[in-house]
Chain A
């Protein structure tokens, strides 16, 4: 089998004219979005902008009222041609979708006392009955290591902390080994080290040929690891582009309705997005200077 030349930037998941109403309220309006192979796309926007709804539509959980979502049909190795066909997500069975895209939800609870290893092994379910099944142990071990949860493998998931459960869910996502990875706030419950680790590991998957989309709230984290940023506002795409193009103080201040400063890190040169913080008394006149000399 010859390895097909990579076609970077090939669209693997596309949304066209996606409109979703929930309870009569428009949540998404005419959203177009392309996710490309080899890229990390980060979805940002204020609360209620429609991030999670768009995520649900891309994952195939929510059927849009109008518009289409199409997902790559063949595999990169099987086709060989630079461009492959896209298939409508709603036309695919759960099994077919599960070999194309993996999803990490915000909520990573588990109903029974499965161990962390069991939970990661569940990510291998789409490949049961294929030759890939033989690699299960190897892939599970690698996924546990990549999620930094190898030491928790024998622990029961309900006894883990929120952040640990979230990393187990990330390991399961990796174990699924799909071409498209969708992550809804994978860093929300994590400490700094694991935030960086998880996003970097997701980015490494993109560099290995996967398509990655992540929702994060931390704009500096988005700036550091995103190839492209999609900024949502009131159910519409407000801006798409590189971090430097989208994450400007002017645009963010307007969309988030809060003054924002964009700095450049002294080392590395990444963007740092910082809200302008005013203390409650900042508007008050400068405090009176109290003379420090004590009376004699």
Chain B
């Protein structure tokens, strides 16, 4: 098939036809009457002011992330200063021996306990925030969030089944695979029931979430009933959400899944922008909407299940982070997705540090903390919409 060229709006069109009477209207405005060189010379009339903040925001997020990770790794019952952390990390990487016994203990705590936990916090935070941003994009609704619409509880319910029946058919991966299937089923149910003409009303979405969460909760309750006391203990940990007990083998399982999904999500950024126009207009602009929807739904389920599989239900990260990022730099997904990943990682690194240190000798469930902050934020969002300030920002 031969190449298709545009019928140009500026400069010379490939096939102009003289009709002075007809063209007057478009050339009325002075900008339009200016010939091509002038048009090329004048800047795009107004830049979105929010876009100027992008480099600052990204720099701040990366800096914050590094600082938070260093502080988090050093904080706990056994305190290690940032300088010692850096030295300890270098020793761990190069395999050099620690100079004295106290440093050996510090290195052991650092490498076997703190480091996997902080890495899990970063991965889970990035996965949840990215999953939230993707879901909001594909639903065309900023209230869509894996926790609220029940994807997390679907994944957790399936993970509970894996725990109680002691399923191990995929070895270490059984938990992630089970959570993925549960998350995918829940996403599919929400997706097929809550959408109408490519959009989702807030009320429908929240009601669908209540229904899916109820079923997920019932399955979890049933599993709690059926399980023995050790399974029950594990299930309770799921529902609270915690990074306590993160191990290196968890990190090795979650890392590839999350990194691949984060990278893949960036590929759909532009198409998600167009989807904000609605499904038909997006298709008119060349988006293969069916394929986009399918791939995003699978990505959301994968990201959520990877996060939920070892950390349990940590809600509201996917709601709060993308919303704050949108307020700062606008809704364009090419910025929103990477910034949300960084923001989510930062938020969970900080939240986990607080969870470990707020109460001496106690490890608070991180899901409790995020819900404590996220719940009121959700109220605020609903109030904001009801004020009807021209829709969701």
Q: Which residues of A contact B (CB under 8 A)?
A: 3-4, 6, 8, 38, 59-61, 73-79, 87, 93-103, 105, 107, 109-115, 117-119, 122-123, 125-128, 132, 135, 137-146, 148, 150, 153-154, 156, 158-159, 174-179, 196-197, 200-201, 203-210
Contact = CB atoms under 8 A, between A and B. Distances in A.
Contacts of B283: 60-61, 94
B10 A114 contact: no
B284 A59 contact: yes
Contacts of A97: 284, 286
B60 interface: no
Contacts of A145: 29, 31-32
A135 to B, nearest CB: 7
Contacts of B140: 111-112
Contact of B284 (A4, A79, A102, A110): A102
Interface of B: 1-11, 13-17, 19, 22-27, 29, 31-32, 36, 39-40, 42-49, 140-142, 199, 270, 273-278, 280-281, 283-289, 326, 330-332, 389-393
Contacts of A208: 7, 13, 15-17, 23
A77 B392 contact: no
A127 to B, nearest CB: 7
Given A100-B4, A208-B13, 10 more contacts: A3-B15, A76-B7, A78-B5, A114-B276, A118-B330, A122-B277, A138-B39, A139-B9, A141-B44, A204-B26
Contacts of B7: 76, 177-179, 205, 208-210
Contacts of B19: 207
B49 to A, nearest CB: 7
B46 A209 contact: no
B5 A76 contact: yes
B31 A141 contact: yes
A178 B6 contact: yes
Contact of A103 (B27, B43, B281, B391): B281
Nearest to A6: B15
A44 B296 CA distance: 40
B199 A111 contact: yes
B286 A99 contact: yes
B14 A112 contact: no
A112 B9 contact: no
Nearest to B28: A197
B390 to A, nearest CB: 4
A9 to B, nearest CB: 11
A75 B13 CA distance: 12
Given A125-B270, A127-B6, A145-B29, A94 B287 contact: yes
A3 B15 CA distance: 7
A125 B285 contact: yes
